[in-house]
Amino acid sequence: MTALLHQGHDEEAIAFLSLHASPLARLGKRENGGLSVYVRGVCEELGARGIHTDVFVRRTDPDQPEEQVMGPRSRIIAVSAGPSRPLPKYQLPLTRAEYLAGVRQFISQSQRNYTAVHSHYWLSAEAGAALTEDLGLPWLHTAHTLAAVKGELGFDGDGPERLVAERRAVAAGAKLVANTSAEANDLRRHYGALPGQCMVAPPGVDLVLFQPRDASRLRARLGLEGRKVVLFAGRLEPLKGPDTLLDAFALLPGVGGLAEPAQLLFVGELSSEGARVGQRREMQERVASLGLSNQVSFLGAQPQERLALLYCLADVVVMPSHTESFGLVALEAQACGTPVVGAAVGGLREVIADGQTGYLVKGREPQDYAAAIAKVLVAAPAAAERMGHAAWQRAQRFSWERTVDLLLPEYGLAPKLAVAVGRGCR
């Protein structure tokens, strides 16, 4: 295809490809999770440094405007690809060709000169490869999760075409942006990524939004005074392990030492993948069979500001995931000064300091999770305060400024852009 070069365009920008989900959508709803947080966090930091970004998403509402402002110097560009409504995840691959055509059309008519392409998740990889060939630009790809890793654990939600798409991105020479060193190793081990093809750029956390604060009013509004609160935040799908947490919570009274009653809060909704397996219905039936209907609450997806308060009112956040490429929930919770009990898998091993900011649990046994949760809940006030402070301190190591510092050279941008506009030198 003829290169889509734009002579005379005076505004440079980076093109972000996110067919899968929009950074403007509510987190924990359908497919929106860590990917959306990552894209928005990076784009906001780039905007603070004077760098323009366009995030290309699939239109999911006929009234959705073509362009929406996400933040300073950052736009969401909605392209028509398939019907203009939310689709089940298994139907999204059918929209890839139309999505690419829509992105190409917008770029060909744009007054911006794109300087790099950064695709996210396997559904955007094909478009990333094609646009890189069109424009002759640096191409970065972030997988967020890997089919081969999920396959090792017995999860095959997307079929063989996902594995093929991920392998093609590696073979096509994309610069692979991994969230952790463990993910970089997986890219080399499962996909044959070449030496130097992978880079590690850990996500950051919004340390202004996610910080310790008084959540007593929300606790009272939810009727949680005098109760220990256990919190799960994420999509309700098998991969995230909410069933393991539910079984562990049912075992808490038998662990011993817990004087106050406990309440389990599930924050998040079904992904389309979860909906296909009836995850929420099965969980509700399980809650009833365990006699826990008054001790378990499903709050649905929550806006970021409310989620931050929920982290603050929780005594412990639990992430019993089968795999996590990073684990942004754990980082956000720790930034709020809340200990985290998480699976000893993937990025969680790099986010949680075992025994200091929470506990890592090996294996899938609910009894082991119950024991780790109880350790946090029954800790003496001084010990609980120390663990909460250590969690907050650990989160300070992760910022979007650091993430963007690592990405800048891969975008081909000048080192001077490491100085944030309006913030001076760091």
Mean predicted confidence (pLDDT) in 380-407: 96
Is residue 234 in some structural domain? yes
Asked whether 328 and 37 are in contact (CB, 8 A), the reply is yes
Residues 406 and 308 in one domain: no
Q: In this model, does residue 140 exceed pLDDT 90? A: yes
Mean predicted confidence (pLDDT) in 167-173: 97
Is residue 211 in some structural domain? no
Question: Domain of 44: which CATH number?
Answer: 3.40.50.2000
Is residue 231 in some structural domain? yes
* % of the chain exceeding 90 in pLDDT: 79
Distance CA 100, CA 345 (A): 34
Is residue 423 in some structural domain? no
Residues 113 and 65 in one domain: yes
Read off the pLDDT of residues 55-95 as tens digits, 9 standing for 90 and up. 999 999 999 999 999 999 999 999 999 999 999 888 999 99
Read off the pLDDT of residues 250-275 as tens digits, 9 standing for 90 and up. 999 989 788 899 999 999 887 655 44
Residues 166 and 293 in one domain: no
Q: Quote the pLDDT of residue 278.
A: 58
Is residue 258 in some structural domain? yes
Q: In this model, does residue 422 exceed pLDDT 50? A: no
Pick the range with the lowest mean pLDDT from 6-10, 22-26, 203-207.
6-10
Q: Quote the pLDDT of residue 282.
A: 80
Residues 284 and 363 in one domain: yes
Q: Position 93: which residue type?
A: P
* Confidence band of 237 (pLDDT split at 50, 70, 90): confident
User: Which runs of E-coded beta strand occur in 62-220?
Assistant: 67-71, 74-79, 112-120, 139-142, 175-178, 198-200
Q: In this model, does residue 3 exceed pLDDT 70? A: no
Residues 381 and 305 in one domain: yes
Q: Give the pairing of strands 139-142 and 74-79.
A: unpaired
Q: Which two tokens stand for residue 196?
A: 């130097």
Residues 390 and 408 in one domain: no
Is residue 102 in some structural domain? yes
Q: Quote the pLDDT of residue 83.
A: 97
Residues 410 and 364 in one domain: no
Q: In this model, does residue 212 exceed pLDDT 90? A: yes
Q: Quote the pLDDT of residue 301.
A: 87
Residues 34 and 133 in one domain: yes
* Confidence band of 157 (pLDDT split at 50, 70, 90): low
Q: In this model, does residue 45 exceed pLDDT 90? A: yes
Distance CA 130, CA 66 (A): 22
Distance CA 393, CA 414 (A): 31
Q: Higher-confidence residue: 377 or 303?
A: 377
The count of structural domains within the chain is 2
Residues 196 and 264 in one domain: no
Asked whether 157 and 179 are in contact (CB, 8 A), the reply is no
* Confidence band of 279 (pLDDT split at 50, 70, 90): low
Mean predicted confidence (pLDDT) in 159-186: 95
Residues 106 and 222 in one domain: no
Residues 275 and 326 in one domain: yes
Q: Quote the pLDDT of residue 354.
A: 98
Residues 62 and 146 in one domain: yes
Mean predicted confidence (pLDDT) in 324-328: 93
Q: Which domain holds residue 361?
A: 216-395
If you average pLDDT over every residue of the chain, what do you get? 90
Is residue 3 in some structural domain? no
376-393: b (≥16 Cβ within 10 Å) or e = bbbbeeeebeebbebbbe
Distance CA 334, CA 311 (A): 9
pTM of the model: 0.89
Q: Quote the pLDDT of residue 4.
A: 44
